[in-house]
A = this chain, B = another copy of it.
Amino acid sequence: MAKDKLFGKHLLCTQDWEVDELIRALELAEDMQKERFSGKYYDVLKMRTYMMFFYNPSVRTRQSFECAATELGGHAQFLEPKSMRLKTKKTAGETVEDAAQVMARYGAGVGIRILEDKIGAYGEGQKLLEDYCKWSPAPIHSMAHDKFHPFQGLADVMGLKKHLKTPDYNFKGKKILQVWGKGALARSWCSVQESILINSRLGMDVCLAYPEGFDLDPEVIALVKANCKANDAEFEILNDVDEAYDDSVDVVYSRNWMTAGAYKGGEFDKPGEIEKSLQHTGWICDGPKMAKTNNALFIHPMPIDRGNEVSDDVASGPRSIVYDVAENRLHVQKAVMALTMGNLP
């Protein structure tokens, strides 16, 4: 058993890691899927604790991280910061400096989830995570925050490699349509920003389509453009849903997201966002639209708002890879936990 050279490394966004580091994690994840219950990786986190900080609740993220620690022979603690007396702008309490340094005495690593409705402005979640990274001797992992969702991005591309049947993680010549969907849940930018970053990084052509007013973070868009340029791949933004679907599209990723004006007076305006979102009735991924593509795969980070983001026949159809991608969350998380905080066989 030995520590990897990635031991101790934080992961807030896939863009922060080198491509060969991401591929190292992805290939380990594939082997972990194959060897899931063989016992090969059962000592990786033996006696080790993983701290999961859920500022926001979660379905898949909680289940898959806790499951990951168990399968690696360790244990993940489910922690809700609301009961943790942390210092905030409004209340006395413990500093991140103290909390992070003490946690690293107990745990081998820390996952943190903080989304749009637990912050007062876009970017505050990212700042909080950076503060933890500054103070924590143990690796900090984003379990989704306002800006990025690295494990979702890794799970996505693991699923794309399998179902696009590419020999490796070079997606040159493939095109993803990253398309906004209407929805009654106003959602963070994290999954979609992570997706366009990692897909463009691995050589894919990216088409981003959304109604006017739903622009994403300009800094992220600039990074995507740079990624595409470096790979000689194409990047375009469309505001017309019908134009977006055509026979060049190999993958459709449909997802609702909020506007840049979602924060008013330091509060996330969820009702206002839902109202704005539901006006764009044509922005649903359905059978007729999918029929115009190159027999595209359908991918989604879940939970799926069926009937809004996507129709049932597409979500449950033969080209949907959503459950495989959801399962991949487990495998990529195990891989990154093993590399950054465990002992490898």
Copies in the complex: 3
Residues of chain B within 8 A (CB-CB) of A39 are 46-47
A42-B47, A47-B37, A57-B84 in contact; A302/B102 too (CB < 8 A)?
Answer: yes
The interface-forming segment of A64-72, A121-129, A216-224 is A64-72
Cα–Cα, bound, A315→B59 (Å)? 39
Q: Is A99 an interface residue (CB 8 A)?
A: yes
Q: Is A17 an interface residue (CB 8 A)?
A: no
Q: Is A63 an interface residue (CB 8 A)?
A: yes
The interface-forming segment of A75-83, A193-201, A203-211 is A75-83
The interface-forming segment of A103-111, A141-149, A246-254 is A103-111
Least Cβ–Cβ distance between A277 and chain B, in angstroms: 11
8 Å CB contact of A304 from B84, B98, B304: B98
Q: Is A172 an interface residue (CB 8 A)?
A: no
Determine if A185 and B92 form an interchain contact, defined as CB atoms under 8 angstroms apart.
yes
Q: How many residues of A contact B (CB 8 A)?
A: 58
A64: nearest chain-B partner, CB-CB: B106
Residues of chain B within 8 A (CB-CB) of A16 are none
Determine if B101 and A323 form an interchain contact, defined as CB atoms under 8 angstroms apart.
yes
A77-B67, A308-B92 in contact; A60/B303 too (CB < 8 A)?
Answer: no
Determine if B75 and A49 form an interchain contact, defined as CB atoms under 8 angstroms apart.
no
Q: Is A159 an interface residue (CB 8 A)?
A: no
Determine if B85 and A77 form an interchain contact, defined as CB atoms under 8 angstroms apart.
no
Cα–Cα, bound, A92→B185 (Å)? 7
Least Cβ–Cβ distance between A235 and chain B, in angstroms: 31
8 Å CB contact of A105 from B49, B78, B85, B326: B326
Q: Is A327 an interface residue (CB 8 A)?
A: yes
Cα–Cα, bound, A59→B83 (Å)? 8
Encoded as 1 (CB less than 8 Å from any B CB) or 0, chain A from 23 to 48 comes to 00000000000001101001000111
Q: Is A184 an interface residue (CB 8 A)?
A: yes
Least Cβ–Cβ distance between A166 and chain B, in angstroms: 23
Determine if B303 and A98 form an interchain contact, defined as CB atoms under 8 angstroms apart.
yes
| Chain A contact residues, CB within 8 Å of chain B | 36-37, 39, 42, 46-49, 51, 57-60, 62-64, 66-67, 70-71, 73-75, 77-79, 83-85, 92-95, 97-99, 101-103, 105-107, 183-185, 302-306, 308, 315-316, 322-323, 326-327, 330
